Amino acid sequence: MDRVPSFTVVSGKEVHQAVSGHEVRVCQAVEAAYRLHGEGSTVNPDSYFLRFPDRPSSRIIALPASVQGDVNVHGIKWISSFPENVEAGIPRASAVLVLNDPETGYPFACLESSIISAARTAASAALAAARLSEARGVRPRRVGFIGAGLIARYIHTYLRAVGLDFEAAGVHDLSAEYAADFAGYLARHEDGEITVHDTAEELIRSCDLVVFATVAGEPHVTDPAWFAHNPLVLHISLRDLSPEIILGSYNVVDDVEHCLKANTSPHLAEQLAGNRDFVDGTLYDVLVGKTTPPADRPVVFSPFGLGVLDLAVAKYVYDEVTASGEALVVPDFFHELKRHG
């Protein structure tokens, strides 16, 4: 019975304490997971989408995964997206994540995971921005956010954490209220000029780093001419750009098979082109120098979001919380441990 692990519950407050102010360490955990994934030391099956006929805008997604190396854990994230929550004054997304022992398969921890999900998304975006900028030899000075929610805030925090500072920042959102609120946040953290843009075109043309963090279900940015100044684009929400823009850009994804499905913009580009030749590499390829993004074309990073990243960040959080001695262990969580009583 000694092999049966204890079971720990990690609250959102504890997750926040483990990641807030430690963004560099979270980015390091995410980079290590990308490298393990690129080396074939992970298992990352397709996500499973639970949808509802009476609520077509809502969904709950299961992301199972396994990571070897120093992370050495299996697990699953169960994350819901109910956009109507925002009108009720609560966040759109909520999530839990379960970690499983790699030797016995027993679950040993359940963590609040909306913060973990936001942190890994932001860390992935910031890591890509830093490494792609270094590879291009072009440091972005004007950042723009299309979509002014929690993910945009997290991405901004992580961009600053990896050493990217900006002379100007812009925001565009379909909600004037959200745009104004986010502009106020940016003004508290940036010394340069903050601009609320009336249109996506105005923002894109004025920025050399563009962050898409929307809930768009289909492309709403369709004119390749808006990108003639060759910006770096973090296409986090995956469905904002038309196939024509994707086909006219240098494209980096996190995982080709995962990203080119479910009618993401790269998937639509594949359907239009009839091939995947427009995908120039993965972020792992950039990290190890297998591909070098150019400075004279728009560069688009489209991450589908890998469960292995969630596991890496969750294991980091679990280790931090348990090392503090304040972890909530549930006694006798596993009870029937003898075959015949």
**Position 1 pLDDT exceeds 60:** no
pLDDT tens digits for range 187-221:
999 999 999 999 999 999 999 999 999 989 899 99
pLDDT tens digits for range 223-273:
999 999 999 999 999 999 999 999 999 999 999 999 999 899 999 999 999
Closest residue by Cα to residue 23 from 322, 317, 321: 317
**Average pLDDT of every residue of the chain:** 95
Could you give the domains of the chain? 7-116+307-330 (3.30.1780.10), 125-302 (3.40.50.720)
For residue 249, give the amino acid letter: S
Q: How do strand 48-52 and strand 168-172 relate by DSSP bridges?
A: unpaired
pLDDT tens digits for range 75-116:
999 999 998 898 898 988 899 999 999 999 999 999 999 999
The CA-based angle 72-76-83, given to 5 degrees, is 140
Other residues' Cβ atoms within 10 Å of the Cβ of residue 210: 29
**Position 8 pLDDT exceeds 90:** yes
Q: What is the pLDDT of residue 87?
A: 85
Q: What is the pLDDT of residue 300?
A: 98
Q: Which two tokens stand for residue 109?
A: 């921890």
Tell me the whole-structure pTM to 2 decimals: 0.94
